[in-house]
Amino acid sequence: MKLAIVGGGPSAFYVAARLLSRSADPALRVHVFDRLWAPHGLVRYGVAPDHPEVKNCTHKFDTVASDSRFRFFGNVNVGAPPPPAFAHALHLPLSTLHSHYSHLLFATGCTLPAHHSALANAPWCIPALSFVHWYTKHPAAPPPPPLHLLDHVSLIGNGNVALDVARILLAPLSRLEKYDIPGSVLTALAASTVRHVSIIARRGPLQAAFTAKELRELTSLPDTSMKPLDPALLEVPPGEIPTRQQARVLQLLAQGSRERYGHTPRSWSLEFFRAPLGIEPASAPDAGAMLSLAPTVLDSEGRAVRIPDAPSEKLRTSLVITSLGFRGEPDAPYFDQEMGHLRARAGRVIGADARPVKGVYASGWAAMGARGVLATTMMDAYGVADVMLADADSTASESTADGEQLMNPAPTDDAPPAMVQAGLAAGRVVEYADWQRIDAEEVRRGEALGKERERMGWAEADAVLRTAKGQ
């Protein structure tokens, strides 16, 4: 097996870990390609900086990369030409992987935010993904939000990402500055004039998408308080038994914040049973915008629906951040528009004829959509790796049925494609050892500033690598 993995996030590394640990074949090769110059995907560019414990999985990924059968090639964009933000990446046609590898795995995740139709193209609205990419210094380099001009932020959605964004906006700088937050972000947060964050949810507390852990962190923020909820909202309907997680969330919501509401410089609120209808300019100049919200109720199937004839409400806000989930890229091969991710069954990619494509697989969010946590991704990746090994050992399995044959069943060498080799020689492609040099330098710079690390962009990282190589 000579496997090419497109995408270098946790799913890719977990698949590689499983394959390398379960196969003693010295001829096995696993090559990971990522358009980002740094590996680890959402672990580096999605996990909140004040959650360093979540990033401990990178130690396992380092072990994977130490296997001589594994190679990482960063700054390589596979497929369509890269967008402008990735112009520095090497463009590698997908067909090149078809001819050089016996197997192909898509671990590309879901890289686009889901949008709300009522807020499309609104000038006061940005996706949470852009905000997260800003505070993690993602290579896409979204513009910084004008926090020094804002006083009220409205978050649409109440998952863990929404609570991450709220926490970063409201936490005292003294709490954040020791973590993996770029200096430019800390400077912007220091100048922030945001005083209140409204978190808006279509359904109620029992259906809350955030975890008790995330909620507890928000209620415990110093100099920040939660607007108390109407106790009626926290009542459990007759005949319904909350899960352990739901019961804990209800308990935390009833307790409220550690600080007393109305006596802190910053505050936040949970606006349950509200759905956005649209956004328009406020009547007064420089007063931000007015967000229209419709009261909702749960129907018999648990879906949030607008209450008939109920008047809408107006909420003055400076900025709306939508946190409604993620989708795959529509121009990706085997993408299913309705599902929002690749067509896959038991890890095997499904072709246009509804049959598995021989030797082609998908794992993680690329295959199942944006759901679950890192543990979910790990278990899915292990399962996909097991399917790949079973298929390689059996000619009677589903994936080896007569169908589309794209991959090269007998690659002649264990090297990457010639274009990648040329990119390596030119210093344009980043290998894992290169990343470890960058990683060490980021940590060194951070320690000098009394923090976890100081992140670099591509230009700085490229300069560090060229200096190390005497170029």
What would the pLDDT profile of 335-349 be if each residue is shown by its tens digit? Answer: 999 899 999 999 999
Q: Is 441 part of any domain?
A: no
Q: Is 451 part of any domain?
A: no
Q: Is the pLDDT of residue 81 over 90?
A: no
Residue that finishes a domain, picked among 291, 308, 324: 324
Instruction: Let me know: does 318 contact 149? Beta carbons within 8 Å.
Output: yes
Q: In this structure, are 354 and 242 located in the same domain? A: no
According to DSSP, the residues that pair with 70 across neighbouring strands are 30
Q: Is the pLDDT of residue 297 over 90?
A: yes
Q: In this structure, are 16 and 32 located in the same domain? A: yes
What's the pLDDT band for 8 if we cut at 50, 70, 90?
very high
Query: What mean pLDDT comes out for the span 77-95?
Result: 91
Average pLDDT taken over every residue of the chain:
93
- Give me the pLDDT at residue 413, please: 87
Percentage of the chain modeled with pLDDT above 90: 86
Burial tier of 134 (Cβ tally within 10 Å: 0-12, 13-18, 19+): buried
Query: What mean pLDDT comes out for the span 154-176?
Result: 97
Per-residue model confidence as pLDDT tens digits over 139-163 = 998 999 999 999 999 999 999 999 9
Structure tokens belonging to residue 373: 């946590």
10 Å Cβ neighbour count for 262?
9
State the Cα–Cα distance between residues 89 and 54, nearest whole angstrom: 28
Q: Is 454 part of any domain?
A: no
Q: Is 387 annotated as a binding residue?
A: no
What's the pLDDT band for 393 if we cut at 50, 70, 90?
confident
Give backbone dihedrals phi and psi of 106, rounded to 5 degrees, phi first: -90, 120
Q: Is 446 annotated as a binding residue?
A: no
Q: Is 453 part of any domain?
A: no
- Give me the pLDDT at residue 285, please: 63
Residue 367 CA to its chain's centroid (Å):
15
Q: In this structure, are 228 and 368 located in the same domain? A: no
State the Cα–Cα distance between residues 83 and 74, nearest whole angstrom: 16
Residue type at 158 in one-letter notation: N
Structure tokens belonging to residue 320: 């709306």
CATH code, 359:
3.40.50.720
Single out the residue of 201, 200, 177, 198 nearest to residue 187, CA to CA.
Answer: 177
Query: What mean pLDDT comes out for the span 47-56?
Result: 95
Q: Is 160 annotated as a binding residue?
A: yes
What's the pLDDT band for 82 if we cut at 50, 70, 90?
confident
Angle value at C-alpha 2, between 415 and 379, nearest 5 degrees = 130
Q: Is 71 annotated as a binding residue?
A: no
Q: What is the tally of structural domains in the chain?
A: 2
Residue that finishes a domain, picked among 296, 324, 352: 324
- Give me the pLDDT at residue 352, please: 87
- Give me the pLDDT at residue 73, please: 98
Single out the residue of 70, 14, 62 nearest to residue 381, CA to CA.
Answer: 14
Please spell the DSSP secondary structure of 326-367, one letter per residue.
EE--TTSTTEETTTTEE-EETTEEE-TTSSEEEEEEE-THHH
Q: Is 78 annotated as a binding residue?
A: yes
Q: Is 158 annotated as a binding residue?
A: yes
Instruction: Let me know: does 214 contact 50? Beta carbons within 8 Å.
Output: no
Single out the residue of 373, 319, 353, 395 nearest to residue 127, CA to CA.
Answer: 319
> Lowest-pLDDT range, 52-61, 92-101, 119-128, 448-457?
119-128
Give backbone dihedrals phi and psi of 310, rounded to 5 degrees, phi first: -75, 130
Q: Is 292 annotated as a binding residue?
A: no
CATH code, 261:
3.50.50.60
Q: Is 202 annotated as a binding residue?
A: yes
Q: In this structure, are 124 and 106 located in the same domain? A: no
State the Cα–Cα distance between residues 218 and 166, nearest whole angstrom: 8
Sign of the CA dihedral with 56 first, then 58, 64, and 65 last? negative
Residue that finishes a domain, picked among 270, 291, 324: 324
Q: In this structure, are 42 and 170 located in the same domain? A: no
Q: In this structure, are 146 and 53 located in the same domain? A: no
Residue 279 CA to its chain's centroid (Å):
26
Domain region containing 100: 2-111+327-430
Please spell the DSSP secondary structure of 97-153, one letter per residue.
HHHH-SEEEE-----EE---GGGTT-TTEEEHHHHHHHHTT-TT-PPPP-GGG-SEE
State the Cα–Cα distance between residues 168 and 145, nearest whole angstrom: 13
Q: In this structure, are 311 and 351 located in the same domain? A: no
Q: CA dist 326 to 109, 319, 354, 379, Å?
A: 9, 20, 25, 20
Q: Is 132 part of any domain?
A: yes
Single out the residue of 136, 220, 233, 224 nearest to residue 184, CA to CA.
Answer: 136
- Give me the pLDDT at residue 404, please: 63
Q: In this structure, are 80 and 139 located in the same domain? A: no
Q: Is 444 annotated as a binding residue?
A: no
Q: Is the pLDDT of residue 397 over 50?
A: no
Q: Is the pLDDT of residue 171 over 70?
A: yes
Q: In this structure, are 128 and 205 located in the same domain? A: yes
Q: Residues with Cβ < 8 Å from 358, sequence gap 6 or more? A: 399, 400, 401, 403, 404, 405, 406, 407
Q: In this structure, are 314 and 384 located in the same domain? A: no
Q: Is the pLDDT of residue 216 over 70?
A: yes
Q: Is 159 annotated as a binding residue?
A: yes
Q: Is the pLDDT of residue 405 over 80?
A: no
What's the pLDDT band for 395 if we cut at 50, 70, 90?
low
- Token pair 């898509």 in the structure block, residue: 106
Q: Is 463 part of any domain?
A: no
Single out the residue of 340, 338, 325, 319 nearest to residue 113, CA to CA.
Answer: 325
State the Cα–Cα distance between residues 103 and 126, nearest whole angstrom: 38
Q: Is 460 part of any domain?
A: no
Q: In this structure, are 393 and 424 located in the same domain? A: yes
Q: Is the pLDDT of residue 396 over 50?
A: no
- Give me the pLDDT at residue 394, please: 77
Q: Is the pLDDT of residue 403 over 60?
A: no
Q: Is 49 part of any domain?
A: yes
State the Cα–Cα distance between residues 10 and 60, nearest whole angstrom: 10
Q: In this structure, are 287 and 358 located in the same domain? A: no
- Give me the pLDDT at residue 470, please: 83
Q: Give the residue, 288 or 110, on which the prediction is more confident.
A: 110
Q: DSSP secondary-structure letter at 312?
A: P
